[in-house]
Amino acid sequence: MTSTISLTIDGQPVEAPADATVLQAAEAAGITIPTLCHHPNLTPPAVCRLCVVEWEGRRTLQPACVTQVAADAVIHTRSPRVDLARRTILEMLATTVDLSDAPELRAMLAEYDAHPERFGEDLTRREHEVIIDNSFFVRDYDKCVLCWRCVEACGTDMEHAFALGFSGRGFETSIATFFENPMPETTCVFCGNCVGVCPTGALKDRRVFELEMATDY
**DSSP-derived 3-state class of residue 4:** strand
Shortest Å, Cβ 46 to ligand FES: 4
Exposed/middle/buried for 156, CB within 10 Å: 0-12, 13-18, 19+? exposed
**DSSP-derived 3-state class of residue 89:** helix
Among 5, 7, 9, 36, binds ligand FES (CB under 6 A): 36
What residue type is 141 in one-letter code? Y
Q: Which is nearer to ligand FES, 111 or 212 (CB)?
A: 111
Q: Among 11-19, 29-37, 124-132, 172-180, which window interacts with ligand FES (CB under 6 A)?
A: 29-37
Query: Is residue 150 close enough to count as binding ligand FES by CB under 6 A?
Result: no
Q: Which is nearer to ligand FES, 148 or 209 (CB)?
A: 148
Among 54, 63, 82, 86, binds ligand FES (CB under 6 A): 63
Query: Is residue 38 close enough to count as binding ligand FES by CB under 6 A?
Result: yes
Residue 75 dihedral angles phi and psi, to the nearest 5°: -125, 140
Shortest Å, Cβ 61 to ligand FES: 11
The rounded Cα 22 to chain-centroid distance in angstroms is 17
Q: Pick from 145, 104, 97: which is nearest to 124 by CA?
A: 97
The angle subtended at Cα 151 by Cα 149 and Cα 156, nearest 5°, is: 105
Positions that interact with ligand FES (CB under 6 A): 35-38, 46, 48-51, 63, 65
